[in-house]
Amino acid sequence: MSAAKAISPETKAVEPPSVIMKGPALAGAVLILALANFMAVLDMTIVNVAVPHIASGLAVSSHEGTWVITSYAVAEAIMVPLSGWLANRFGAVRVFCTSAVLFAIASALCGFSQSIQTLVAFRILQGLTGGPLMPMSQVLLMRISPPKRSNLTIGLWTMTTILAPICGPLVGGHIADTVGWPWAFYINVPIGIVCAIFAWNLLSVRETPIKKVRVDFIGLALLIVWVGSMQMMLDNGETHDWFSSPMIVGFAIVAAVGFVLFVIWELGEEHPIVDLRIFRYPPFAIACAAMGITFGCYFASIVLVPLWLQLNMGYTATYAGEVMAFNGALAIFMAPVAAMLMSKLDPRLMMSYGLSVLAGCTLLRAGFAQNMTFEQIAFVQMLVGLGMPFFFVPLTSVSMQTVKPHEVPAAAGMLGFVRTSAVAFATAIVTTAWQNGGTRNKVDMAETLNDPAGAIDQLTSTGMSYEQARATLDNMVQSQSVMVATNELFFIVGLIILVTAAAIWLMPKPKGPVQRATGGH
């Protein structure tokens, strides 16, 4: 199928008047759906800075505490691509409301946990129930929005995906430092219940059609095996020195073999649990690749900047979270602008511009130094908001427009899976490369250090003991080596984003102004 045909008007469907919403009802539905998406994405990062508090409260090591993050990520990564099948089998509204309620219950159980075992178990439940919230909120927004308002509503929804990972460390840090880590979970309870109640009241009469098909148990089992193995490899690779560990090698082999078997099975299955045939549309395939690369690079900065601030600049977790919050300062205002321009400009131009801004900000970070002030760092963070909406808003609309109407739920789930997987890859790659780079740079600097004995003599002349002077010099070298590693990583990431900005033009130009693809038919 050609790209032009994939995005032609014949592949679209017009929702009946009874489905389209207007006025206050539409505004309320958009708010509820965006809030639910924000809640689900927020929980990917809200406990990151609270891990030391959780480990201390449950009397476990920090490494065991990280399983609170891993368990949620694994469960969500498995569940997101299943969303299309669930929507077709039970209806998008039912799946959304059920997920919101169960997510609230799972969150409460996480807060009540008195051991690491029960907390991990309930985090798995939280990931399983929260996974469908992201793609289902997107599908329902596209279904109920009038054509003239669809880009604006999708733009507002997209902003929750951008802002939530930034707000997670900020909110989690404040909660952990004040009222205690369980409240990082308790805050989801009222939000989940409210979203479910209002969504059902507003949208139950606008349920998507359902189709009863048999469950692809083999496909589901293969999905769980390869996604779970991949996530375990990524999350534990750094701790176990990657492929020098037989356990990590085993996870890698299982993930690779499981993935190949999964693809072969799903492409030959009449009713696959994950419909991989949507990749036959070149624009959608390119959009998925761009989403994975860009969101991975974007999340790399969300991981790397707080690490650098806390370990190298002496910032607290809360203070580092406040710096990250500036990422969304301008983005809030730019998202509506990007949505309004969707019908006037070539979306490829908008996406390329957005990526160019992100690349420029990332390359600016490659020039960061240890004497930078809070204001200087926050200013660069704020500039990111000038570009990100111009990439994510059109990408979301274009990717959904290129598939057939009945394939929208599967496409939304696949795009969410790519985004979730990108987070796992970015976190693993960035943290490993950063630590390895710091170690390598420290060795290089130590070998080329100019007159270390003289430097120690100068320090001892100020009243330090020899050991204190030596430790001070070692800390200075360590600090500089980490700074150089940080700059090197940002430079590489910036170049990757620039290449992606150019590759966007491989996507065929949509015929006519970009509107929406409807869902549920």
Q: Which ranges constitute the DSSP H helices of 113-149? A: 116-130, 133-144
Q: Most confidently modeled of 3-12, 147-156, 284-293?
A: 284-293
pLDDT digits (tens, 9 = 90+) for 442-460: 777 776 766 666 667 676 7
Sequence-separated contacts (24+) of 105-108 with Cβ below 8 Å: 105/129, 106/130, 107/43, 107/185, 107/186, 107/188, 107/189, 107/192, 108/185, 108/186, 108/189
Report the CATH number at residue 27: 1.20.1250.20
pLDDT at 387 over 70: yes
In b/e form, how buried is each residue of 246-272, taking b as 16+ CB within 10 angstroms?
eebeebbebbeebbebbeebbeeeeeb
CB hemisphere CA count around 373 (13 angstroms):
3
Both 225 and 321 in a single domain? no
CA angle 284, 514, 508 (to 5 degrees): 45
241: number of Cβ within 10 Å: 10
Mean pLDDT (the chain, rounded): 80
- Domain contains 516: no
Both 202 and 303 in a single domain? yes
pLDDT, residue 8, reads: 39
**Segment 18-33 mean pLDDT:** 81
- Domain contains 511: no
Residue among 29, 27, 332, 38 at smallest CA distance from 191: 38
Residue among 132, 192, 148, 168 at smallest CA distance from 45: 168
Range(s) of the domain holding residue 234: 216-272
- Domain contains 467: no
- Whether this model's pTM surpasses 0.85: no
Final residue belonging to a domain, choices 254, 272, 290: 272
pLDDT, residue 200, reads: 92
3 state SS of 148: coil
- Tokens 């015929």, residue? 511
**Segment 488-505 mean pLDDT:** 91
- Domain contains 476: no
| 512 vs 43, more confident | 43
Tokens in use for 386? 């000038």
Share of the chain above pLDDT 90, in %: 16
The number of angstroms, rounded, from the C-alpha of 37 to the middle of its chain's C-alpha atoms is 12
pLDDT at 210 over 70: yes
**Does residue 264 contact residue 222 with C-beta atoms inside 8 Å?**
no
**Alpha-carbon distances, residue 119 vs 37, 109, 188 (angstroms):** 23, 8, 15
Tokens in use for 504? 């966007």
Both 246 and 108 in a single domain? no
| 186 vs 70, more confident | 186
Both 207 and 319 in a single domain? yes
pLDDT, residue 6, reads: 38
For 193-239, the DSSP string reads HHHHHHHHHHHGGGPPP-------HHHHHHHHHHHHHHHHHHHHHTT
- Domain contains 8: yes
pLDDT at 302 over 90: no
- Domain contains 127: yes
**Does residue 238 contact residue 435 with C-beta atoms inside 8 Å?**
yes
pLDDT, residue 511, reads: 64
pLDDT, residue 122, reads: 92
pLDDT at 14 over 60: no
Both 223 and 349 in a single domain? no
**Segment 344-348 mean pLDDT:** 86
> pLDDT confidence of 399, banded at 50, 70, 90?
confident
* CA 304/CA 302 separation, integer angstroms: 6
* CA 318/CA 223 separation, integer angstroms: 37
> pLDDT confidence of 501, banded at 50, 70, 90?
very high
pLDDT at 169 over 80: no
Final residue belonging to a domain, choices 228, 244, 272: 272
**Segment 274-298 mean pLDDT:** 86
Both 93 and 183 in a single domain? yes
Both 148 and 102 in a single domain? yes
Both 95 and 127 in a single domain? yes
pLDDT at 513 over 70: no
- Domain contains 448: no
**Does residue 248 contact residue 376 with C-beta atoms inside 8 Å?**
no
Domain count, the chain: 2
**Alpha-carbon distances, residue 495 vs 65, 488, 513 (angstroms):** 34, 11, 31
**Segment 311-338 mean pLDDT:** 80
pLDDT at 4 over 50: no
Both 160 and 286 in a single domain? yes
pLDDT digits (tens, 9 = 90+) for 451-485: 666 667 676 777 777 777 777 776 777 778 888 88
**Segment 109-129 mean pLDDT:** 90
* CA 144/CA 160 separation, integer angstroms: 18
Both 247 and 343 in a single domain? no
Both 48 and 195 in a single domain? yes
Both 114 and 46 in a single domain? yes
- Diameter over CA atoms, the chain: 83
**Does residue 116 contact residue 175 with C-beta atoms inside 8 Å?**
no
Residue type, 313: M
* CA 318/CA 340 separation, integer angstroms: 35
